[in-house]
Amino acid sequence: MLNELSPLARKLGAFVALSDAEHALLMRLHRRRKVFFAGRDLVHQGQSEHTAYVLAKGWAASYKVLEDGGRQILNFKVPGDFLGLRSVLLRISDHSIEPVTDIEVSEIGVSDVLDAFNENHKLATAFLWAASCDEAIMVEHLVNIGRRDAAKRLAHFLLELGARLSLVGIGSKAGYDCPLTQYLIADALGLSAVHVNRCLRQLREYGLVTFTGGRVAFIDHARLVEFAQFDPAYLDHSAPKLR
Amino acid sequence: MLNELSPLARKLGAFVALSDAEHALLMRLHRRRKVFFAGRDLVHQGQSEHTAYVLAKGWAASYKVLEDGGRQILNFKVPGDFLGLRSVLLRISDHSIEPVTDIEVSEIGVSDVLDAFNENHKLATAFLWAASCDEAIMVEHLVNIGRRDAAKRLAHFLLELGARLSLVGIGSKAGYDCPLTQYLIADALGLSAVHVNRCLRQLREYGLVTFTGGRVAFIDHARLVEFAQFDPAYLDHSAPKLR
DNA sequence: CGGGCGCTTGATAGGCCTCAACGTAAGTGG
DNA sequence: CCACTTACGTTGAGGCCTATCAAGCGCCCG
């Protein structure tokens, strides 16, 4: 049932109860389904022409590069997530987006979205909600980098991804398939890849979690949650549905 | 002229050209002017009852506390900024807000705002824009903590605050009055207060900037910008105004 | 005058980075 | 089919950056 909905309708439907008319309205916002290949950026930092997407299949990373060549990954995007939502109303995009795997996306007509606000205010509220959820994840990422040591940071990161994937049905407390390299994780956590490797070993030796062969396997989920001080409240998408 | 407008109208007016009718609509969104005292939180992490505010006078800090007692300051808020905008649509607030000085705020009726979306879609767009601007600042903060060493991090921080204050007319390339303690800055930058102190000395000895007696004074603004790799593009509020 | 707060500085320790080397697996081209 | 290359993961050695602990100073205010 839900699977027949577009990714956009599924995303926003988590927040507002959508009527048939609203579903029809959402359909008009879609352009076409598109495919991008791993490593070829869809959005470039500094570009002024924007399109927003909803990720239907695969993983992507939003990131910012510094003048000195370093880069910071802001967030990994998994199926169901928006790509480029924040840039919709900003004059130039403040970040780039790179597919980690080959991905499929639904393109969204930005000006159509803004026009649709005129017809239906619930839609506007739903977009603001989606933006707020994205920001909550960013904020927790900030806390993670600012205040946790490397091992806890990594543990928290693996737990967050697991929780987010569980929300869209492709992960559980047992684990999940994860296409990220240790280099990507390092760029996300503000660490070196070497140290990510050491921390992974540490978590493995503690009997908490393993990450090998593209699979994250939680060995002792409860103890890992405690170790990382992971509180998933910020991922709570069960917002009170609007009338 | 601008000073006669409410803080809310001034904020949103930076993005959309507001008609008289829209100004009138905004007036209805205001509840009363309120005062909060330094150190007494207005918003508590985990609370479910939200109010949003626009900061009219003074400084505040939004922050998150960890179980182990550490805290990460997410952002300092200066006059003209929203307080609690992200929490408006989330079931529980994911952060706390503490006035750094005594502050004056305009309270905003959240449900009134959502109702107003129904009457006027430009307003909805303007709120989404404001949320996007806030998030852009958060993202740059993330990059700052994740990828810059302490001195550059501090330099970038001081420059950002200067740029933001300049936008609301209470700062310049010469400097600005700053009520923050070194402890607050440390909590924002993921550093210890001791190390913030050392880095301030370093920046002073380099002849770049001083911070004493509640005053940040840029000595060589251009060189500081280069040192910190500060690119203010993410603060660009000159978005194309909507028709 | 005493006490608290914020700032400053020194000494020490340790977490994480950098550099470097090596193993494995997969892909490429002859 | 094999030599070569590339990407990713793993491990060790050494050193820098930043935290922690500690002490002292100036200032404001009760």
Q: What type of residue is B144?
A: N
Q: What is the mean pLDDT of residues B9-14?
A: 84
Give domain A148-235's CATH number out of 1.10.10.10, 3.30.70.20, 2.60.34.10, 3.40.50.720.
Answer: 1.10.10.10
3-state secondary structure (DSSP) of residue B157:
helix
Separation between Cα atoms, residue B216 and residue B213, nearest integer Å: 8
CA distance A37 to A59: 11
B200 touches strand D (CB under 7 A): no
Query: B66 CB near a chain A CB, below 8 Å?
Result: yes
Average pLDDT value for residue range B84-104: 93
Candidates B6, B14, B1; CA nearest to B133 is: B14
What does the pLDDT profile of chain A (243 residues) look like in tens digits?
Answer: 444 677 788 888 888 888 888 888 888 888 788 999 999 999 999 888 788 999 999 999 999 999 888 899 999 999 999 999 999 888 899 999 999 999 999 999 888 888 888 888 888 899 999 999 999 999 999 999 999 999 999 999 999 999 999 999 899 999 999 999 999 999 999 999 999 999 999 999 999 999 998 999 999 999 999 999 999 999 987 766 665
- Tokens found for residue A105: 């996306």
Interface check for A22 against chain B (CB to CB < 8 A): the answer is no
The reply to whether residue A236 touches residue B92, judged by beta carbons under 8 angstroms, is: yes
Query: B160, B174, B170, B161: which is closest to B209 by C-alpha?
Result: B174
CATH match of B2-134 with 2.60.120.260: no
E strand or H helix at A135:
helix A121-147
Q: What was the pLDDT predicted at A241?
A: 62
Question: Which residues are paired to A43 by β-bridges?
Answer: A97
The reply to whether the CB atom of residue B197 sits less than 7 A from any atom in nucleic acid chain C is: yes
- Taking CA A224 as the corner, what is the angle to CA A211 and CA A71, rounded to the nearest 5 degrees? 55
pLDDT digits (tens, 9 = 90+) for B199-213: 999 999 999 999 999
Nearest CA in chain A to B67: A229
Chain A residues in contact with B114 by the CB 8 A cut-off are: 121, 125, 242
Which of B16, B132, B184, B196 to mutate to test binding with chain A, by most A CBs within 10 Å of its CB?
A: B132
A152 touches strand C (CB under 7 A): no
Within chain B, all domains assigned CATH 1.10.10.10 are found at 148-235
SS3 A173: coil
User: Which residue in the block uniquely carries the two structure tokens 């933006």?
Assistant: A131
Residue B78: the pLDDT is: 96
CA atoms within 13 A on the CB side of A164: 23
Closest Cα of chain B to A28: distance in Å? 18
Fill in the amino acid letter for B181: T
Q: Which nucleotide, over all strands, has the C1' atom closest to the CA of A192?
A: C17
- Which amino acid belongs to residue B102? D
Q: Is the CB of B194 under 7 A from strand D?
A: yes
Between positions 148 and 187 of B, the ones with CB within 8 A of A are: 148
Position A1 scores a pLDDT of 40
Q: Do A132 and B95 touch (CB under 8 A)?
A: no
Contact between B70 and A147 using a beta-carbon 8 Å cutoff: yes
Residues in B touching A118 (Cβ below 8 Å): 121
Contact assessment for residue B53 and residue B105, using Cβ atoms and an 8 Å cutoff? yes
Name the band, by pLDDT with cuts 50, 70 and 90, for residue B19.
confident
Q: How many helices (H) and strands (E) does chain A have?
A: 8, 10
- The pLDDT tens digits of the residues spanning B62-76 come to 999 998 888 999 999
B60 neighbors B114 (Cβ within 8 angstroms): no
Which of B46, B124, B242 comes nearest A121 by C-beta?
B124
Residue of B92, B142, B152, B192 to mutate for A, most A C-beta atoms under 10 A? B142
Asked if B131's CB is within 8 angstroms of A66's CB, the reply is no
Angle at A23 (CA atoms; ends A17, A25), nearest 5 degrees: 120
What's the mean pLDDT when you consider all of chain B? Answer: 91
Interface contact flag, B134 A132, Cβ < 8 Å: no
Q: List, in sequence order, the alpha helices (H) in B15-119.
A: 20-29, 110-119
The CA distance from B237 to A59, in Å, is: 31
At A95-121, the pLDDT tens digits run 999 999 999 999 998 888 888 888 888
pLDDT at B238: 74
Residue type, A233: A
As a whole number of angstroms, the distance between CA B202 and CA B210 comes to 10
Q: Given the structure tokens 């001080």, which residue do they identify?
A: A229
Residue nearest to nucleotide C8 (CA to C1'): B197
- What residue in B sits closest to A186 (Cα-Cα)? B146
pLDDT at B239: 66
Residue B71 neighbours by CB under 8 Å, 6+ apart: A147, B63, B64, B65, B187
Greatest Cα-to-Cα distance within chain A, rounded to the nearest angstrom: 57
Q: Residue A49: how many CB atoms within 10 A of its CB? A: 8
CA distance B94 to A75: 18
pLDDT tops 90 at residue B98: yes
pLDDT of A70 reads 87
Query: C1' nearest to CA of B212: which nucleotide?
Result: C7
Which residue minimizes Cα–C1' distance to C17?
A192
CB contact under 8 A, A138 and B143: no
User: Smallest Cβ distance to B146: which of A67, A72, A90?
Assistant: A72
The string of pLDDT tens digits covering residues A179-195 is 999 999 999 999 999 99
Nearest CA in chain B to A94: B234
Crossing angle for the helix pair A193-205 and A182-189, to the nearest 10 degrees:
100
Range(s) within chain A of domains with CATH label 2.60.120.10: 2-137
Residue type at A133 in one-letter notation: C
Tell me phi and psi for residue B35, to 5 degrees.
-120, 135
CA of B131 to C1' of C3 (A): 44
List, as one string, the DSSP characters of A209-221. EEEETTEEEESSH
CATH 2.60.120.10 assigned to domain A2-137? The reply is yes
Q: Are B151 and B203 in contact (CB under 8 A)?
A: yes
Q: How many CB atoms lie within 10 A of CB A50?
A: 17
Q: Is A194's CB less than 7 Å from nucleic acid strand C?
A: yes
Distance CA A107, CA A51 (A): 7
B124 touches chain A (CB under 8 A): yes
Q: Which amino acid is at A242?
A: L
Whether the Cβ atoms of residue A242 and residue A147 lie closer than 8 Å to each other: no
The separation between the first and the last C-alpha atoms of chain B, rounded to the nearest angstrom, is 22
- Residue A164: DSSP 8-state: H
Contact A228/A216 with Cβ under 8 angstroms?
A: no
Per-residue tokens: B137? 């600042």
d(CA A18, CA B189): 42
Strands A71-77 and A60-65: antiparallel
Cβ-contact B135, A132 below 8 angstroms: no
Q: Which nucleotide is nearest to B152 (CA to C1')?
A: D17
Q: Determine whether the distance from the CB of A151 to the nearest atom of strand C is below 7 Å.
A: yes
Chain A 188..227 CB hits on strand D (< 7 A): 193-194, 197-198, 200-201, 212
- Predicted confidence at residue B189, as pLDDT, reads 98
Q: What is the DSSP letter of B88?
A: G
Would you state the torsion angle of the CA atoms of residues A223, A227, A233, A238, taken in this order, to the nearest 10 degrees?
Answer: -30
The residue to which tokens 């959309």 are assigned: B16
A121 at interface of B, judged by CB pairs closer than 8 A: yes
- What pLDDT is attached to residue B171? 92
pLDDT in tens, B99-154: 999 999 999 988 888 888 888 888 889 999 999 999 999 999 999 999 999 999 99
